[in-house]
Amino acid sequence: MGGGPLPFDPIRRAAVLWRQRWGKSSQVSAMAAATSIMRVQQSLLADFDAIVGRHGLTFARYEALVLLSFTTNGSLPLSLMGERLMVHPTSVTNIVRRLADAGLVERVPNPRDGRGALAVITDAGRAAMEASTADLIEAGFGLASLTAEDQDHLFALLRSVRQARGDFVSEPGTGLEISRTS
């Protein structure tokens, strides 16, 4: 990204200017936090694309392979993939087409829906996904500068925002809670 670090924090500077122009500290805090999330997301995505790019993937294609690898039989309908990945149907079709062109998935007719298709991960897809995962883990998913506790706290804060925005419904008691001891 860019030509190196800036000599100042542009979000902090924006917050000062925001306060001078519009006032209200709560709005300044919300703007600064939201803008920071977006800037970190852009930085992480650039890093992730570079890491998985060594294996012929983009991060979006990597996510699709991970999703398929989590299924019982390595396949999902494209419509369900779009929902889970939170992407437009056209985007998931493009992702699957590119993965199929690379031999990392097969696109087959959905036996339960004559109009739909299934994406099925191939052995080559699993290998690319596993190699990419190992590299992302080695890179600390871009968050190695945070302690494990800070990472947990960040996840909890962002999870609250996601839940309030309707990303998912609460799932207590499912065994899906993240715990450092499990």
Q: Which residue has the tokens 């871009």?
A: 142
What pLDDT is recorded for position 167?
A: 86
C-alpha to C-alpha distance for 7 and 108, rounded to whole angstroms: 52
- Write the DSSP symbol of residue 142: G
Q: Using one digit for the tens of pLDDT, what is the confidence trace for 25-84? A: 778 988 999 999 999 999 999 999 999 999 999 999 999 999 999 999 999 999 999 999
Q: Using one digit for the tens of pLDDT, what is the confidence trace for 87-114? A: 999 999 999 999 999 999 999 998 888 7
* Of 8, 9, 7, the residue nearest 39 (C-alpha): 9
Task: Tell whether 77 and 40 lie within a shared domain.
Answer: no
Task: Tell whether 62 and 129 lie within a shared domain.
Answer: yes
Task: Tell whether 24 and 85 lie within a shared domain.
Answer: no
Domains: count for the chain: 2
| pTM for this entry | 0.85
What pLDDT is recorded for position 174?
A: 55
Task: Tell whether 85 and 28 lie within a shared domain.
Answer: no
Share of the chain above pLDDT 90, in %: 74
Domain that holds residue 40: 9-44
- 4 phi and psi angles, rounded to 5 deg: 110, 180
